[in-house]
């Protein structure tokens, strides 16, 4: 049973890595959709949910603020158009910070919300209370094919999870609701995500498939040896009684 469970686990992990390897094309939409439909908890943000308008209501967690430095308000201008090489971009706009606050939703889950851009983050008061925020969902910035210029630190789901007190949604929300002393941020992904494969995850997929064959082979080998030992013991017992 243990061998069968190990093989099944390897195949499940292979299927998971294969799913992660695909960056599927999303569809643009101006229709406002329910957040629960766009961002299923305990699952990856669907590509079809990227940039679809939605709204959330929850309670701000002021102690969990994340400040992302060396950024500009125009998200698409921070993206390296050629991820295979280093690109230097000259920005005429101010360089400052994306302010990311954690919101605890009614179901107890947490969501990272990019409330806006500022150049004076130290003067920005913490946000508190219950609020409804409109916005669009964005994938974790370690999504395959995305590379930010100038070595900008990516805003990732892992970072949001580390700063949340409860289970967090994949990706983050870019607010389209205006906040005092903050400039609205233009989302990085305002259009569909391009189709492609993350070859690192493809490699992991084949690794897990290989592991399943190795585990299966070892399991069969051990089972066969045990059967042979049982047969030898039985034959020995028969000879003894004879």
pLDDT at 152 over 90: yes
Q: What is the pLDDT of residue 237?
A: 63
**Average pLDDT estimate for 89-108:** 94
Residue 55 counted as domain residue: yes
Residue 58 counted as domain residue: yes
Secondary structure class of 100 (helix, strand, coil): strand
Instruction: Considering only residues 218 and 198, tell me which one the structure prediction assigns the higher pLDDT.
Output: 218
**Average pLDDT estimate for 126-133:** 96
DSSP strand pairing (196-197 vs 22-23): antiparallel
Place of tokens 């100038």: 150
pLDDT at 66 over 50: yes
Q: Are 147 and 80 in contact, with CB atoms under 8 Å apart? A: yes
Residue 239 counted as domain residue: no
Residue 92 counted as domain residue: yes
Residue 90 counted as domain residue: yes
Reported as a single tens digit per residue, the pLDDT across 154-184 is: 999 999 999 999 999 999 999 999 999 999 9
Instruction: Considering only residues 232 and 51, tell me which one the structure prediction assigns the higher pLDDT.
Output: 51
Q: What is the pLDDT of residue 242?
A: 57
Number of domains in the chain: 1
**Average pLDDT estimate for 145-157:** 94
Q: What is the pLDDT of residue 27?
A: 46
**Average pLDDT estimate for 192-216:** 66
Reported as a single tens digit per residue, the pLDDT across 17-54 is: 666 665 544 444 567 899 999 999 988 998 889 999 99
Classify residue 120 by burial, with Cβ atoms within 10 Å: 0-12, 13-18, 19+: exposed
Instruction: Considering only residues 162 and 197, tell me which one the structure prediction assigns the higher pLDDT.
Output: 162
Q: What is the pLDDT of residue 117?
A: 98
Residue 182 counted as domain residue: yes
Closest Cα partner for 6 from 178, 165, 242, 217?
A: 217
Tell me which residue range forms the domain holding 148.
25-194
Q: What is the pLDDT of residue 236?
A: 64
Residue 85 counted as domain residue: yes
Residue 150 counted as domain residue: yes
| Residue 131 parent element (H or E) | strand 130-138
- The alpha carbon of 236 is separated from its chain's Cα centroid by a whole number of angstroms, namely 60
**Average pLDDT estimate for 212-231:** 73
């Amino acid at each position: 049973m243990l061998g069968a469970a190990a093989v099944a686990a390897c195949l499940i992990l292979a299927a998971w890595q294969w799913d992660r390897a695909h960056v599927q094309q999303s569809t643009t939409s101006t229709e406002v959709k329910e957040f629960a439909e766009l961002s299923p908890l305990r699952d990856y943000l669907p590509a079809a949910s990227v940039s679809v308008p939605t709204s959330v209501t929850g309670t701000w967690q002021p102690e969990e603020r994340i400040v992302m430095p060396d950024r500009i308000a125009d998200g698409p201008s921070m993206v390296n158009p050629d991820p295979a090489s280093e690109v230097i971009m000259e920005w005429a706009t101010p360089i400052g910070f994306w302010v990311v606050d954690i919101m605890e939703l009614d179901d107890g889950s947490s969501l990272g919300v990019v409330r806006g851009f500022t150049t004076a983050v130290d003067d920005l008061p913490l946000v508190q209370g219950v609020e409804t925020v409109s916005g669009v969902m964005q994938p974790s910035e370690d999504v395959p094919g995305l590379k930010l210029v100038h070595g900008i630190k990516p805003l990732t789901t892992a970072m949001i999870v580390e700063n949340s007190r409860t289970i967090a949604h994949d990706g983050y929300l870019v607010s389209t609701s205006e906040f005092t002393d903050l400039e609205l941020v233009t989302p990085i992904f305002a259009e569909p995500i391009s189709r492609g494969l993350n070859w690192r995850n493809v490699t992991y997929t084949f690794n897990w498939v290989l592991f399943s064959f190795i585990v299966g082979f070892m399991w069969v080998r051990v089972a066969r040896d045990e059967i042979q030992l049982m047969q030898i013991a039985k034959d020995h017992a028969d000879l003894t009684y004879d």
